[in-house]
Structure 1
Amino acid sequence: MRIARYGEPGQERPFAAGSDGVWRDLSPLVDDVTGATLATVLDADLSVLPAAQPEGRVGPPLARIGKVICVGLNYRDHAAETGADIPDEPILFMKAPDTVVGPDDSVRIPQGSMKTDWEVELAVVIGSQARYLSSPAEAAACIAGYAISHDVSERAFQLERGGQWDKGKNCETFNPFGPVLVSADEVTDPQALGLRLRVNGAVMQDGTTADMVFGVDHLVWYISQFMVLRPGDVINTGTPAGVALGRADAPYLRAGDVVEIEIDGLGAQRQEMVSA
C-alpha cells in the first residue's frame, strides 16, 4: 500500500493506493492518517472505497507525528568523509515533529545561516509499540512502512555554537517528508535501496542503504531499549556521503537553490530554498 495526503497545510485529505495502483479516498474510513489510525488504514479493503485522483499540494504522508528520532553517522562513507570514527553504538538525537513539512514545500534558510546542509535519509515509520524488544528480529513486526526524509541541517549551529546538535537540526521546515508512506510489505529489502540527492541539478549524494553501519531492524531494537516507540513515530536512519560538510567542491545551500531527492521505490522530493 502507498499512503499520501494532499491539500494545504492543516487541511490535507488522506488517500491510499493498493496493488492495482488506483488511488482511493480514505476519508470515509478515517479522518486522517495518524499513528492512531495507521493500523486501520493498512488493514483496510481499499476496493470498497471511492476511487479519487489526488490533486494539489502534497503534504507529509503522516499527520500528528509523535516523535522524530534521528541517527547520526550511520553510513560508513559519511563517517569517513567527515573524519569521524565508525560509532560503536548508534548516535541518537531528536527533531521536533513541527520541523516536518511536505516533500515539495520550500525550506527556509535560517537567519544568520552560513552552513545549511542537505541529507537524504530513509525514514522508518513505526506501526506498533516497540518497548524493550529482545532482539532485532522482533523489530520488523513493529514497522508500518518507509518514506523519504530530508534531514536538513545547519552545521554552524550544530557544531560551532556549543551544546548538543539540536540547534542545527530543529529550524523550521528542516524535515521535508514524503511524498508517500510505502507499507513495509512492499519494501523487499530496506538494506538494498539506492538514495540520491541533487542540488541545482548536480548529483551530490548517490548511495545505498547497504552501507548503513546499523541496519533498520537493529535501530528499532536499539532505540526501544531507551525510549518507547509508538505508532506514528519516525526514525531518520542516517545519510550517505556527499553532504556539503564533507565536500570541498560544493557550497552550502542558499536561497534560490533547488534540492531534488529520490529513494528507490519511495518516490521523489523537490524543494526550493527560501530566506526565512
Structure 2
Amino acid sequence: MPRSWTEGPDRCRAAGLGEDHSFATKPRLAETMIERFLASGHRARWATGDEVYGANPHLRAALEEQRMGYVLAVSCSTAVPTAAGRFRVRELANRLPRRAWQRLSAGAGAEGQRFYDWALVATTETAPGHRALLIRRNRATGELAYYRCYSAEPSPLAALVAVAGTRWRIEETFQQTKGLAGLDEHQVRRYTSWIRWVTLAMLAHAFLAVLRADGDTAARSDAAETVPLSCNEIQRLFMALVADRVHHADHRLRWSEWRRRHQARARRAHYRRRQVAQP
C-alpha cells in the first residue's frame, strides 16, 4: 500500500484495511517474501531484480545472510570498492581493456540468442563470500547495464550472465498476466476485492503456465516442426473449445497447428539471420 494510504487511518478503514497495515518499501516486501519462501522449506540458489532492489543494502545483506546468491541491477552512479580504489561503475566500465569483455548469450529470445558483451570486475569487500560487478554492453548501441553480484562459492561469468538473463521472465510474466488474465483490469476500491481479483488472475495465469510446461515436454520430439504451445495459444484454444464451445473444434485445432508450424519456420529464419549478423 502507498504511504499516502497507510498514513491516513480513515482512508484505510474505508478501503477495508485493518489497523495493523503499515507502509513497506519494495525491497522490504521482497525481503519478507523471500523469508517466507525459505521458511516454508523451499530453496533457491539465486535472486535477481532491478535497480530498486540492487540499491538496497538491507536486502542484499538479508540475501547474504541466507547464503542466497544474487545478481541485482544498479544504477550507473553506484560506487563499488576494487583493488585499485573506489570507483563509480560507469567509470570502471570505461577503464576496462578490450580483452576484459566476453560475448555471451543472456538466453534465447523470440528472434534468437540475446548476445551481449560482458565483463566481470572483482570487488573488495571484507564480508564472507564472493562479490563482483557484472557489466553488460549492448553490441549494437553500446548501452551499458550494471549488476552487483554475490555468491557463497565462486561462480563463473557464464552462470552470472544466465541469472541476469532470467530477469526478462519477470517482465514477460507481468505482461502475460495483464494481457491474458486481466491482472490490471480491476475497478475496485476495497482491499478485499482487490486481493481476490489479483489472486484469481495469478491463478488463471498459473493454470496457463502449467499447461504450457506440460505441452513443452510433450512436444520436444516435434520441436523442429511446430513451436510449443504458448500461454496465448492455450488461452485462445480454451476460449474456443471450452468457454465458448464453438462448433467445428477440429478446424480450430488444425488452425492452431498451422499457426505454430508457421511460427516455427519464422523462428528458424530469425535464428539464422541473427547468427549471420553476429560477428
The TM-score with structure 2 as length reference comes to 0.22
Higher helix share: 2
The TM-score with structure 1 as length reference comes to 0.23
Higher strand share: 1
> Which structure has the greater CA radius of gyration?
2
